[in-house]
Amino acid sequence: MAAEAGTGALERYEAVIGIEIHCQLRTASKMFCGCSTEIDGAAPNSHCCPVCLGLPGVLPTINKSAVECVIATGFAIEAAIAPTTRWDRKNYFYPDLPKGYQISQYQLPLASNGRLTFETSEGPFTVRINRAHLEEDTGRLIHAELDASPGGRPARRVSLIDFNRSGMPLMEIVTEPDIRTAEQARRYAEELRLLMRTIGASDAEMENGQMRVEANVSIRPRGREEFGTRIEVKNMNSMRSVERAIDFEIQRQAVAIDAGRTIRMETRGWDEARQETYLMRPKEAENEYRYFPEPDLPPLVAPPEWLAEIKARLPELPAARRNRYGTDLGLSAYDAAVIVNDAAATALFEGALAADTGAPAKLIANWVTGEYMRLVKGKAGAGKVNAGELAALAKLVADGAISGTNAKEVFAEHLDTGEPVARIIEKHGYRQISDAGALGAAVEQVLAANPAAVADYRAGRDAAVGFLVGQVMKATRGQANATMVQAALRERLDRAE
């Protein structure tokens, strides 16, 4: 693809993007049967039963906690929750769909008309969400090459089916075509992922398919009302690839239109290795799914008390939390976002605040976004950090009882070993000397030992103070309160003049 030709595409064309996200819900059992959802890494076809295999005569039963996940999501995206909803069959044939239909919600989704607001590089942006509904996942086809057998059977390509995923609870969340840039699309997906994790609806790991993002992308000349022909883009398995695939697709379509070609409805996949989209299948017409109400399941009625209970259980949502950090705690928008985006960081920050040591929130936030995030970056766990200990350390720093440099070392050791910070400080003798009498003796010693520097200072070379401070710190093995040392030095030197 000639990138040059597409350069500036966004000046001439406007992209119109809608996002469909499928999230595997965090429930103990599958959507319509009692099978465990712990299928990650399980042997193929080890987590299935007559119901999720679609054997003759089986019937679905509703997993209430999956319904609650979707209702909770509905509240979180400010959607309308349907007091009565129902299930529909989506009929199509594919070998990984054992019943020949998927139980889904077509006419009456659990949640509709929601919205989600998030930060972008160009400021806050709100996407309208058309619907969030519940459905069941399919099995998985695995295309494999079987080796030639010693008996002479030639090597052959086979398709194997793993039904472990069949019947896993899935929530589908569909936006309106409100998104205009690849960045917005990525930020929307990131914010939704954060929301899912915050309310506990889904672990939403893209890498293992718990969260699947599909984008419908079209472009139109700027200023035109009507939409262009949309292309569905799939197979994006990271947030970064969401942004790149959409960017690529916008450029590709611009080049095609500029060259006078017609865009046809099709489904394209993102090739991570080649960093481009490729044709998966054309979409000649809308698929014929013969939707009709699922006769095996009665309509689902959500009584107001149940809805109220689900709403009351919702934790503080990311937007509200960011707002509180900024308004009530005085954190910068950046720090607030960094903390809220990271569940472990949020827990650490909230825990440290709760310890109520008197350390300022902003100082704690600096430690969380600074040292903590630096040290745990790229590591599997969050270390052995204890929020109360972090709060205690921050308080010592605030009180000038430990130097910033020493505090960082203490924190690193604490993160590593889990040892209480007081004991680490004790062990290393890091407690800062803020006692004027003790400091005075050290100052006198250093002045006596460095007459040249004293002379320099008196000759007007103010930088000599820095040297003398360094000497005092050295003499006290870093324990002296540097600010107090400097003040004491100046006072002593100026007085003796």
Partner 1 sequence: MGERDEEDRPFETTQGRDGGAGGGALTDLTRLHVHEMARLLRTGEVSSRALAEAHLAAAGRQNHALNAWLVIDRKSALAQADAADRRLAESRRPGGSGVAALHPLCGVPVGLKDLVSVKGGQATAGSKILKGYVAPFDSTVTARLRQAGAVILGKTNMDEFAMGSSTEHSAYGPTANPWDLTRVPGGSSGGSAAAVAAFHVPVSIGTDTGGSIRQPASLCGIVGLKPTYGRVSRYGIVAFASSLDQIGPLARDARDAAILLHAVSGRDDRDATSAPVPVPDELLDLPASDDEAASYLKGRRLALPREYFVDGMEPGVAARVREAVAAMEAAGAIIEEVSLPHTDYGLATYYIIAPAEASSNLARYDGVVYGFADRSSGDYIADYLCTRGTGFGPEVKRRIMLGTYALSAGYYDAYYLKAQKVRTLIKADFDAVWAAGFDAICAPTSPTVAFPMGARVEDPVAMYLSDACTLPVNMAGLPGISIPAGLSDGLPVGLQLVGAPWRELGMLRLARAYEAITARATWRDLEPAELHLTDDPTTPSPLERQARRTQGAPATGSGDQP
Stretch that binds partner 1, among 52-60, 114-122, 238-246, 418-426 (CB under 8 A): 52-60
Min CB(177)–partner 1 separation in Å: 22
Residue nearer to partner 1 on the CB measure, 48 or 331: 48
Token pair, residue 287, equals 């698929």
Min CB(253)–partner 1 separation in Å: 28
Quick check: 30 binds partner 1 (CB under 8 A)? no
Residue nearer to partner 1 on the CB measure, 157 or 379: 157
Which amino acid is located at 164 in the chain?
N
| Binding-site member from 11, 41, 93, 122 for partner 1 (CB under 8 A) | 93
Min CB(384)–partner 1 separation in Å: 45
| Binding-site member from 75, 101, 188, 248 for partner 1 (CB under 8 A) | 101
* 41 Cβ neighbours under 8 A, 6+ residues apart: none
Say how far apart CA 165 and CA 392 lie, in whole Å.
47
Min CB(152)–partner 1 separation in Å: 19
Quick check: 279 binds partner 1 (CB under 8 A)? no
- The dihedrals phi and psi of 302, each to the nearest 5 degrees, come to -105, 100
Min CB(62)–partner 1 separation in Å: 7
Burial of 273 (0-12, 13-18, 19+ CB in 10 A): exposed
Min CB(89)–partner 1 separation in Å: 5
Contact of 165 with 208, CB cutoff 8 Å = no
| Binding-site member from 7, 36, 61, 327 for partner 1 (CB under 8 A) | 61
Min CB(160)–partner 1 separation in Å: 11
Neighbours of 336 (CB within 10 A): 24
Quick check: 89 binds partner 1 (CB under 8 A)? yes
Quick check: 133 binds partner 1 (CB under 8 A)? no
Q: Which of residues 283-312 bind partner 1 (CB under 8 A)?
A: 286, 288, 290-292, 295-298
Contact of 163 with 220, CB cutoff 8 Å = no
Min CB(102)–partner 1 separation in Å: 11
> Is the Cα torsion angle 183, 189, 195, 200 positive or negative in sign?
negative
* 192 Cβ neighbours under 8 A, 6+ residues apart: 21, 116, 173, 204
Residue nearer to partner 1 on the CB measure, 56 or 260: 56
| Binding-site member from 12, 36, 83, 100 for partner 1 (CB under 8 A) | 100
Quick check: 169 binds partner 1 (CB under 8 A)? no
Q: What angle do CA 62, 63, 68 make, to 5 degrees?
A: 115
Quick check: 486 binds partner 1 (CB under 8 A)? no
Quick check: 58 binds partner 1 (CB under 8 A)? yes
DSSP state letters, 294-350: -TTSPPEE--HHHHHHHHHH----HHHHHHHHHHTT---HHHHHHHHT-HHHHHHHH
Contact of 418 with 388, CB cutoff 8 Å = no
Contact of 85 with 300, CB cutoff 8 Å = yes
| Binding-site member from 5, 108, 161, 314 for partner 1 (CB under 8 A) | 161
Quick check: 123 binds partner 1 (CB under 8 A)? no
Q: Shortest CA distance to 483 belongs to which of 449, 445, 420, 433?
A: 433
Bridge partners, residue 292, by sequence: 89
Quick check: 50 binds partner 1 (CB under 8 A)? yes
Token pair, residue 68, equals 């609650």
Quick check: 160 binds partner 1 (CB under 8 A)? no
Stretch that binds partner 1, among 71-79, 85-93, 174-182, 343-351 (CB under 8 A): 85-93
- Which residue ranges make up the site for partner 1 (CB under 8 A)? 50, 53-62, 89, 91, 93, 95, 98-101, 159, 161, 286, 288, 290-292, 295-298
